[in-house]
Chain A
């Protein structure tokens, strides 16, 4: 639970920023082989995480139906539903 929370705290933009910093460090050069390889591995890791984050969410369009102070259901939602209900045509 705690781990999940910590994970959620690292945002996509933070990762991108970190990756940009690593690239900048490498581009500025004058790093030892050890440092280069370490930064490279870290960068590649972040790149993978970022791409993974992009695909984490699933497409879902739902409707929240509030039934009371504490009760609700979630139903699928279609944008065409509105058109039909509007019945303007």
Chain B
């Protein structure tokens, strides 16, 4: 009986676990492997280590991911998530449990393509291919657009229909290309280069395709296409897949739109809206100009008033008026003076006429003159008795002889 249970095969627990540990660690099949499964019982310990169970329909394995490995995870693992875990299977001696020591977790389905994507994205970002300041502006009013895509998909139909609905007189150039498969990236890149060579009048180029799996969209994640987009002098609009899918092309493109339809909506303006904008501005222009002219007219009017007030013509007119007044006054004065003169002359004439001896004679006086000397007799002593005299009266003369003399004092 003893032969069946030889004493030499006695080990301590520590020893056996340590042995197994060595066994596991030396087995290359258990080191650096991918394990597929669904996360359950996920716990993020306060220490920063992650503990969870990876399971499939039939089995499960304990997993641990230490802080030093999980700090640069691009997502937070959650229960139910299908993942691919990369690491080693080792023995946890203290509990005698084997577990998967994870060094990387990626969401399942992304796999190597996803890794390649992340790697290329990082590389191109470092090179500056995604730099915002390098992005070209999409003109507001495109007139000629090229679309590199499959000529038979819904994508091209959507882009054409929406573009022409928004802006009817638009020139669209469809550039057929493969959009999936191994040749697609290179073909799209060549198309971009070709357009840059022969169609520099293009306002921009839309490259795109409808949504699909990561594999189907892969062409838009390839470096050759990224470089062609970056090289293009014509702005590039990426229009790949559905909203949640980002491609390298999206990062390099001058404008990223989530779907082909959105590319048309984002880049082609609505013609009616543009016309409205212009009309609105023109209306504003007319009203503002009118107001400016009115303000100017008002200013002009008040200036005009002020100018009229200071107008020299006014002064001249005033002087004219003064002159007129003066003239009238002068005339009056002259008239008056003239009248005065006339009157004076009249008076003088009257006085003169009153001195006229004939006038005196008219009144009954007479003049006596000696004959033949014709001296006016003023005094008695001038004549002797017997002298001849003539007496002038108003209508003739009388002649006679002096026969009496008498001196008398006549009071007048």
Q: Is the CB of A31 within 8 A of B292?
A: yes
Contact A26 B171 (CB under 8 A): no
Contacts of B288 in A (CB 8 A): 23, 26-27, 29
Cα of A19 to Cα of B271 in the assembled complex, Å: 18
A62 to B157, CA, bound (A): 13
Distance, CA A39 to CA B284, complexed state (A): 12
A-B contacts at CB below 8 angstroms, number: 134
Chain B: CB-nearest residue to A64: B175
Closest residue to A62 on the B side, CB-wise?
A: B173
Stretch at the interface among B102-110, B160-168, B341-349, B390-398: B160-168
Least CB distance, B203 to chain A, in whole angstroms: 10
In Å, the complex CA distance between A54 and B171 comes to: 12
Majority DSSP secondary structure for residues of A touching B: helix
User: How far is B144's CA from A61's CA once the two chains are assembled, in angstroms?
Assistant: 10
On whether A57 and B144 interact (CB within 8 A), knowing A32-B296, A47-B281, A82-B156, the answer reads: yes
**Complex formed: what's the CA distance from A63 to B156 in Å?**
11
Would you call B16 an interface residue if the criterion is a C-beta within 8 Å of the partner chain's C-beta atoms?
Answer: no
Q: Are A54 and B275 in contact (CB under 8 A)?
A: yes
B contacts with A, residue count (CB < 8 A): 46
B254 CB, min distance to chain A CBs, angstroms? 15
**Shortest distance between the CB of B204 and any CB in chain A (Å):** 13
Contact between chains at B173 and A56 (CB < 8 Å): no
- Contact between chains at A79 and B160 (CB < 8 Å): yes
Verify if B143 is at the interface (C-beta below 8 Å from A): yes
Rounded to whole angstroms, the CA-CA distance of A60 and B173 in the bound complex is 8
B164 touches A47 (CB 8 A): no
At the interface, yes or no: A74 with Cβ under 8 Å from chain B?
yes
* CB–CB A66/B285 < 8 A: no
Complex partner residue of B151 from A43, A56, A82, CB under 8 angstroms: A82
B285 surroundings in chain A (CB, below 8 A)? 19, 22-23, 26, 40, 43-44, 47
Q: Which residues of A contact B (CB under 8 A)?
A: 11-13, 16, 19-20, 22-23, 26-27, 29-33, 36-37, 39-40, 43-44, 47, 50-51, 53-66, 72, 74, 77, 79, 81-83, 85-86
Listed by A's residue number, 24 A-B pairs whose Cβ atoms lie within 8 Å are: A13-B141, A19-B282, A23-B285, A23-B288, A26-B285, A27-B288, A29-B288, A30-B295, A32-B296, A36-B289, A43-B281, A47-B281, A47-B285, A54-B169, A54-B278, A56-B143, A57-B143, A57-B169, A57-B170, A61-B160, A62-B171, A65-B176, A79-B156, A83-B157
